[in-house]
Amino acid sequence: MHKKDCFYLGKIVRKHSFKGEVVAKLDTDEPELYQNLESVFVALGNDLVPFFLEESLLQKGNQLRIKFEDIDSEEDADTIMGAGLYLPLEFLPKLTGNKFYFHEIIGFDIEDVNYGYVGVVTGVNDTSAQPLFEINSNGTDVFIPMIDDFIKNVDREHKKIIVESPAGLIDLYLNN
């Protein structure tokens, strides 16, 4: 399994017991969807290695206490500390309406209600306070904040997102 075929579920953040249990902080708004997993992929180096769960328990919101098969001591748990957890993309719940996963919209066209066709989504910048659409407009990078009020329609069938950005925002990038 490759990372490009998976989504990031969370990270092993600490040991829980001397029997090899660990706690993972889940990167999701709905941690309850992942409390009864049979297995996950653990990122070890550049590889994703399947690990099977003996048991798991959701605690403190988005923290999942996990007992993996064959991880039976603190020393065993040390080998996976800080590792990322991944699941295949097909495990993601389907989103509808104007909700979407960042990986899902790569390659979608962006059209602005007032400006018209802007370009193609090449990525999402989620390192700033507000995630941004990264758009290639004929070789020029355009960034539009991913604010619910700006997103008017997500058309999965035609791979297009209609936005209504603030007046002049797109011109800042394209009319030098």
Over residues 81-123, the pLDDT tens digits come to 999 999 999 888 888 889 888 888 999 999 999 999 999 999 9
Q: Among 31, 41, 39, which residue's Cα sits nearest to residue 8?
A: 41
User: From CA 124, how far away is CA 144, in angstroms rounded?
Assistant: 10
Helix, strand, coil shares of the chain as percentages rounded to 5? 15, 45, 40
Q: Over 90: is that where the pLDDT of 2 sits?
A: no
What is the pTM (predicted TM-score) of this model?
0.69
pLDDT tens string 42-66: 999 889 999 999 999 999 889 999 9
Sequence-separated (6 or more) residues with CB below 8 Å from residue 119 = 109, 110, 135, 136, 137, 138, 140, 142
**Is 76 exposed, middle or buried, given 0-12, 13-18 or 19+ CB atoms closer than 10 A?**
middle
Residue-range domains of the chain with CATH:
3-91 (2.40.30.60), 102-174 (2.30.30.240)
pLDDT at 176 over 70: no
Quick check: 75 pLDDT over 90? yes
